[in-house]
Structure 1
């Protein structure tokens, strides 16, 4: 089933779907046009559709984003059969108050000097669109369906699920 909803409802639903998925794959564009992906830990998703991440000023993604601010984020939770793809525009933010707000001590692994580490910069991704896929079936039910398809030679038909698009 495909859903279409207004922006506020869509962002609320998106926030609910990814709130427990802490790591996303961030894809940015290299200067030569090739794509570069890496895992990033989501620090916060705001009701206005902004996603926040910590990164280092010397990170390879910084020149990529300065060259082309279009990014993609992929969230996956196979245990709940939830998958989300987010497109957005990335901006680099040097705001100590926001760093203080989002800081947690686990970040010391990347920023040993703490929240005042001079290498810290925030990455803000403003969502332009998102797409999600949910399947209410358990992994065992899905596996049975795939095995059945292989044995019968018929194409696998996943059970009823949810698919929707959100446009900002």
Structure 2
């Protein structure tokens, strides 16, 4: 379509006799096909990533919290670029947590987005001391990724923080 219009403007051919409705239909078809092609590419990437993760268990990676909700967090996994939601019931066995809504000064609008932080307590084990973690936006975490059964979607489990060595 663009090439025909360019050729007509350069006087290589006659001006097309198209109605605005016809051009709109063509543009709508092109946009839909472009969107579907993009989704197919994303689905293909998701399929291969899910298969790779399934075959390379345990798949433990670093991630960063990008959103917190009352009972979940969203993280971006650095190595894959995947955004994965982790629900509080997937924090691990015997892990306790508490959600707290963060009050922002001057934000009295009831329709405003609520900001949460989640305080997590990992129990003492034979190998590790008790550990605490506060999950807020930009908190660095370790997650174990796995493939959801019968899908190409990923799920993640929050892992205990690794103790920092004090070298000083």
TM-score by length of 2: 0.26
Structure 1 or 2: more strand by fraction: 1
- Whichever of the two has the greater Rg, that structure is 2
